Amino acid sequence: MLWVVFAVLTGLAVMSVLLPLARRSNTRSWRESEADFYRAQVNEIAQDVTRGLLTEKEAQSLKAETARRFIADTDRSLETGAEPQAGASDTPASSPSPWRVRIVSLIALAVIPAVALGLYLMIGRPGEPDAPLQARLDKPQQSDMSALVAKIESHLKQNPEDSRGWQVLAPVYMRFGRFDEAANAYAQVLRLTGENPAIRAAYGEALVMMAKGIVTPEAQDSFRAAPDQPRSQFYLGIAAEQAGDKENARRLWTKLLADSPADAAFVPLLRQRLAALGDTENATGASAPPPAPVPATPAMPQGAAAIAAMPEAQRNAVIHTMVDRLAARLAENGQDLEGWLRLIRAYNVLQEEAKAKGALADARRAMMGNAEALARIDALADELGLKG
């Protein structure tokens, strides 16, 4: 379809050049115009004779002089190639030669399409495959998603109470690995819309991802507030395993496996975790109880579990990267209370007491005058045993 449009446009460009050339000129040659000019002078002399202004002798003399000047102008024009001066300003130019018209037409037919094609090959992208609209909508490019995120972020700066905007943005942040921002977005949704088990569990998962697999106490509180969510039970099992309580982890995961549809996306992951705990029966599914008829729930990302299963040294290395990023963001925007709480808790998890106390002091300065925020900061300091 696009090539048809290009062909039509090229044809219009060619015709805009050929049509003026194809029109036959209605103008007369300069010789005919000059003859008319002198003929009019002779007629005017005859009228003067009729009106008695000239005698016949005078008229004959003037006619002879007019004829002489016409002949002289014609001879001079033929010798120099220039048109006679008399009446020249009143006569249009002569018609172009037919051969000249044909040559210009052929040049237009050849040059215009060639130039158009050359420009397209030079500045266009003829080798680019087609990208139908529906295909772009079904599989948006990273750049498209980034532009969409930037647009929503700009909207939320002007409308921070738009819960729908935060709810749209939170899972996109998770997909991009911007876990601290995802946790903040989920926290905003909970603040604006009230308790929601699915959002609460997603918030807890964002906290775990922000801590690079460590199920922090704050994340555990969030999961316990949404006990009916599969991801809550999954991460509570990881928390038990990280605390060394393998028996509790096995109990939680065995129950989750029994209560989940057999084709749930997280079932293979559950079996792997149970196998690591030595539960070969549930790990292979040999005698697993039939799935209960419960509605399907959102699948937990396998990447989250993979991070949680990292060796401690690897987890700590990744945590430092994430915490540094959060600290840099808070240095630019210190009004993010949830961010400060996560940063203080993260430093505490890393056993970096000096940095935790420094973040605590920075948070108090940033939230000065906000009694509710300061109360939450002090409560976290008491919970973590931080003084100062």
pLDDT tens digits for range 133-172: 455 545 445 456 677 788 888 898 999 999 998 998 898 8
Q: CA 254, CA 285: separation in Å to the nearest integer? A: 11
Specify the 3-state DSSP secondary structure of 31.
helix
CATH number, domain at 365?
1.25.40
Would residue 257 count as lying in a domain?
no
pLDDT for position 131: 54
Would residue 367 count as lying in a domain?
yes
Q: Which domain holds residue 38?
A: 26-93
Would residue 195 count as lying in a domain?
no
Q: How many residues does the chain have?
A: 388
How many domains does the chain fold into?
3
Neighbours of 374 (CB within 10 A): 15
Would residue 152 count as lying in a domain?
no
- Is the model's pLDDT at 104 over the cut of 50? yes
Would residue 360 count as lying in a domain?
yes
Do 99 and 63 have their domain in common? no
The number of helices, as runs of H, and strands, as runs of E, in the chain is: 19, 0
Q: Indicate the residue type of 368.
A: M
pLDDT for position 67: 75
- Is the model's pLDDT at 6 over the cut of 50? yes
Do 18 and 102 have their domain in common? yes
Q: Which residue has the tokens 């006619």?
A: 63
pLDDT tens sequence across 231-270: 999 999 999 988 889 899 999 999 998 888 888 777 888 8
Would residue 318 count as lying in a domain?
yes
Would residue 292 count as lying in a domain?
no
pLDDT tens sequence across 180-203: 999 999 999 999 999 999 999 999
- CA distances 89 to 34, 76, 85, 183, 367, Å, are 11, 18, 8, 85, 88
Residue 280 — φ and ψ, nearest 5°?
Answer: -70, -30
Rounded to a whole number of angstroms, the CA Rg of the chain reads: 45
Q: Would the pTM count as exceeding 0.75?
A: no
Would residue 232 count as lying in a domain?
no
Angle at Cα 143 formed by Cα 142 and Cα 146, nearest 5°? 85
Q: CA 157, CA 272: separation in Å to the nearest integer? A: 43
Q: CA 351, CA 346: separation in Å to the nearest integer? A: 9
Q: Which of 72, 93, 114 is the last residue of a domain?
A: 93
Q: CA 199, CA 113: separation in Å to the nearest integer? A: 60
